[in-house]
């Protein structure tokens, strides 16, 4: 199944160590970002997390208990394989 360029970029960013959160009801995601000048957190919406979670390319780090709270997500083994496959295809 092909994924959008944004989804691919999110997988690469997760692999590089950037932090993402997904709401417990799996309906909204965001990227945690900090403004270096003010040291304030400035989250950015990341709706592409939703199809990635449905496909099994990312998962919650811990099982969500509250559907209204945000929980950290991590890339799965399947997500790493997908990323490696697409990077190999892009280099050809």
pTM of the model: 0.86
pLDDT number for residue 87: 75
pLDDT number for residue 5: 86
pLDDT number for residue 38: 92
pLDDT number for residue 1: 57
Q: Which residues contact 46 (CB under 8 A, 6 or more apart)?
A: 10, 20, 29, 30, 31
Show pLDDT as tens, one digit a residue, over the chain (92 residues). Answer: 578 888 999 999 999 999 999 999 999 999 999 999 999 999 999 999 999 999 999 999 999 999 999 999 999 999 999 998 887 766 65
**Of 56, 54, 6, 55, which is closest to residue 31 (Cα–Cα)?**
6
């Amino acid at each position: 199944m092909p994924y959008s360029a944004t989804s691919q970029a999110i997988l690469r960013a997760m692999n590089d160590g950037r932090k993402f959160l997904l709401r417990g009801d799996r309906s909204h995601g965001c990227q945690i970002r900090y403004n270096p000048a003010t040291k304030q957190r400035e989250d950015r919406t990341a709706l592409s997390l939703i199809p990635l979670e449905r496909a099994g390319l990312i998962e919650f780090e811990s099982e969500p208990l509250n559907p209204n709270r945000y929980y950290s997500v991590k890339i799965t083994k399947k997500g790493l394989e997908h990323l490696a496959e697409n990077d190999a295809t892009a280099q050809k």
